[in-house]
Chain A
Amino acid sequence: MLRVEKLNFAYDDLKVLWDVDLEVNEGEIVTVVGANGAGKSTTLKNISRLVKPSSGKITFDGKDLGKMQPHHVVEAGIVQVPEGRRIFPEMSVMENLRMGSYVKATRADRQKNIDWVFELFPRLKEREKQLGGTMSGGEQQMLAIARGLMANPKVLLLDEPSLGLSPLLVKSIFDIITGINQQGVTILLVEQNVYQSLRISHRAYVMETGRVVLTGKGEELLNNDHIKKAFLGM
């Protein structure tokens, strides 16, 4: 469904992605794991067209994203919840959610989606009127995911959703991701929490210094020696 082929990218002179190949099939949870600076977020930024690749091809349902503006990508159904939450600090929870369904085609479902995300995250409903910038880190993360869901994503790109959350909340975030996936949303997850994310994913990729070095099924990789050494401290 989403396919990244031989993606190369450089920030000015600093080359950070080398021939990255990724594929996400409909209905899957696919995880990208890797150390800090491996190029995971940069890969997602290329998919969302926030930055333009130096070479390579990204297609979605066969359509080339190469000529699209970032807002076209969202309209096509690829929605990213970025690293660091990036909610609108001076807008209320409700306004943030409304922005999630800014795309015209999704506005008809706005109320339905608000009900849905309030069911997923009851905390947000309690804080409907609070300004995004004054929420706690965990609440902001819930809001960021909820805002992404407002856009009726076909594929949801999640960049380190568990970062900075308490262990209890981490667990529930992963449960929620699984739940969202079961409702038919395909997921491309970037995570540092290798154990939890591999456990819930169908397939995974391992990135190191800008390259994909390993790929396989979620459970397979959990038992992989390299992964155990590099990420799980075993």
Chain B
Amino acid sequence: MTEHAILDPATARHIPTRHVWRGVIAVVLLLALLWFVQGLAFNQALDWTTVWKYFLDYDVLAGLGRTVLITAISIVVAVVVGGLLATMRLAESRVLNALSWVYVWFFRSVPLLVLLVLTFNLSLLWPHVSLGIPFGGPTFFSIPTQKLIDPLAAAIVTFSLQQAAYTSEVLRASILSVPLGQREAAYALGMTRARTMMRVVFPQAFRVALPPIANDAINLLKSTSLVAFIAVPDLMYSVQQIYSSNFRVVPLLIVATLWYMIVVSVLSAGQYVVERKLRNAPSRTRQGASA
């Protein structure tokens, strides 16, 4: 008969569970990654010398500049217009609600490419831009629409307006995520509606909105390559121009890819820094029964 040794849990040695499989899976995955990277780095078809030759090419850099410009302006406009749309949607006026809803519905349902081409060819729909009294009143001046629209402007307008529709939904959800009690407390202190939004609701909504907006910005950065259709020389269009004359398609696509990766990395790093800053102030109030 064996005797059970009686252990004293206070003094006995404690051995945590070993997660053997976690280690094995990690090693396998790392080896696979290494193999893949090595396959790329020494791949003759990729022609890294051509990649480096065009990496800092003037046209490539100018294209990169336009890509970043379109993205940056569009996301800023999208946040401002989207904020306005979200506020309209949450306002007590039926008309404002409906207008905001229709805007979002329209710009989310029309394909980006169609919108882009239409904006660029706005003169087909409205040949003249004029200032006057509508519904048959006098006209003060009129100029051909075609003169007003250059491809870069058309691209910026298109991406801004469409992105505003998406961003307004993100902002609306973030505003709704701020508990009603926050607003009521502000009103009870004598704050006006506008002040309450600016000082209490938006700052808290912003924390919630930041990750999806960063996501949208990254998505937008790459979607802007559609501008090739209206001949805006952005990053993608510039490398296309180059490979259509020297036929080194893959290396030039890699040039574009590397630049997109670099810009996305910068954006992600920025997002990380801002999120960490915001996290210093705890965002959730322990309220109610858990107090």
Tell me whether A and B are bound partners.
Answer: no
